[in-house]
Amino acid sequence: MSKRSNGLFVGKTRHLARHHVPSAMSVNKIIKEFKIGDKVVIVPKGSVKNIPHPRYKGRVGTVIERRGSAYVVELKMFNATKRLVVPSMHLDKFK
C-alpha cells in the first residue's frame, strides 16, 4: 500500500471549490496597488499554487509594507497579531 500525500491542501480542496466560479484573471486584478495603511480583505482566487491558507479567507487586515510584488498584511485573530505575505491578486480593498 502506498502512503497518502500530506500536502498543504489535502482534504481542503472541496472547501475551496464551494461557491467558486472560475473566471479569467485580467491584468488589472493581478497588478493592483495598495498604500501602506490601507484596509484589505483576503480573498483567495486563481491558482492554488500561491493562495493564502483558507483559514484567512474573508479576514480584514492592514497593509504594513510591500515585499516584491506582494504585500505584508497584519491582521488580528483573537488575541494574536499575525503578519502574512499575500500576493496582490488575492487582496481587495475593504469598503
Write down the pLDDT at residue 70. Answer: 93
Write down the pLDDT at residue 61. Answer: 97
Question: Is 2 part of a structural domain of the chain?
Answer: no
Question: Is 3 part of a structural domain of the chain?
Answer: no
Write down the pLDDT at residue 85. Answer: 96
Q: Which residues of the chain have pLDDT under 70?
A: 8-9, 12-23, 47-48
Separation CA 45–CA 43 (nearest Å): 6
Question: Is 4 part of a structural domain of the chain?
Answer: no
Write down the pLDDT at residue 53. Answer: 84
Question: Is 5 part of a structural domain of the chain?
Answer: no
- Where in the sequence is the domain holding 65, given as residue range(s)? 13-93
What CATH number is associated with residue 71? 2.30.30.70
CA 47 to each of CA 13, 22, 35, 51: distance values in angstroms, whole numbers, following the listed order? 12, 10, 25, 7
Question: Is 48 part of a structural domain of the chain?
Answer: yes
Question: Is 87 part of a structural domain of the chain?
Answer: yes
Question: Is 1 part of a structural domain of the chain?
Answer: no
**Number of domains into which the chain is organized:** 1
Question: Is 6 part of a structural domain of the chain?
Answer: no
Write down the pLDDT at residue 48. Answer: 67
